[in-house]
Amino acid sequence: MARGKKTDTEQIYKIIAVWAVTGSYAETARRLNMNEKTVEGIVKENKDKPEFSELLVEKRKEFSAAATRIIDKALERLERELDDTEKDIPINHLTTAIGTLYDKKALCDGNATGKITVDIKLPEGIDDYAG
């Protein structure tokens, strides 16, 4: 955006919506082809306004729902991969993706991510799956 140019309400909504999902000024700026400092200023100036607060909540709920669907699909795929000796993607890639998305979803939902214990029982002969 040009220096000193007023940002219209529609553009502010776009900035807040992208920032709500990414949580990053830099990523928001990259996606919208804007200056990072401009994005940061607009977010800080507008994020607590009622109309944008509602948008933040809505976008975070949308992300959380999408993350839940993706996690469920990845877990189903992981189960299939564990049973399939002809697997096409490394299991560690799936587990890393599931863990990362789970943490991001938990943060988005306002939950802690550091004190959760998960026990996973792998089938006997797991060494056969080592890549």
The pLDDT of residue 33 is above 90: yes
**Are both 82 and 107 inside the same structural domain?**
yes
Number of domains observed in the structure of the chain: 2
**Are both 110 and 69 inside the same structural domain?**
yes
More confident residue, 66 or 88: 66
**Are both 33 and 63 inside the same structural domain?**
no
pLDDT in tens, 95-122: 787 788 788 777 777 776 665 566 666 6
**Are both 89 and 64 inside the same structural domain?**
yes
More confident residue, 38 or 23: 38
Which domain range does residue 77 map to? 59-120
Q: 66-95 b/e with 16+ CB inside 10 Å = b?
A: ebeeebeebeebbeebbeeeeeeeebeebe
**Are both 68 and 108 inside the same structural domain?**
yes
Contact call for residues 41 and 16 (beta carbons, < 8 A): no
**Are both 42 and 64 inside the same structural domain?**
no
Whether 126 is in a domain gets the answer no
pLDDT in tens, 40-64: 999 999 888 887 777 778 888 888 8
Taking each helix axis from N to C end, the angle separating 50-83 and 9-22, rounded to the nearest 10 degrees, works out to 40
Those residues with Cβ within 8 angstroms of residue 15's Cβ, 6 or more apart along the chain or in another chain? 7, 28, 32, 34, 39, 42, 43, 46
**Are both 67 and 33 inside the same structural domain?**
no
**Are both 34 and 63 inside the same structural domain?**
no
**Are both 75 and 100 inside the same structural domain?**
yes
Whether 54 is in a domain gets the answer no
**Are both 40 and 67 inside the same structural domain?**
no
**Are both 115 and 78 inside the same structural domain?**
yes
**Are both 96 and 116 inside the same structural domain?**
yes
More confident residue, 30 or 123: 30
Whether 39 is in a domain gets the answer yes
pLDDT in tens, 68-79: 888 888 888 777
Q: Is the pTM of this model over 0.85?
A: no
Taking each helix axis from N to C end, the angle separating 9-22 and 25-32, rounded to the nearest 10 degrees, works out to 130
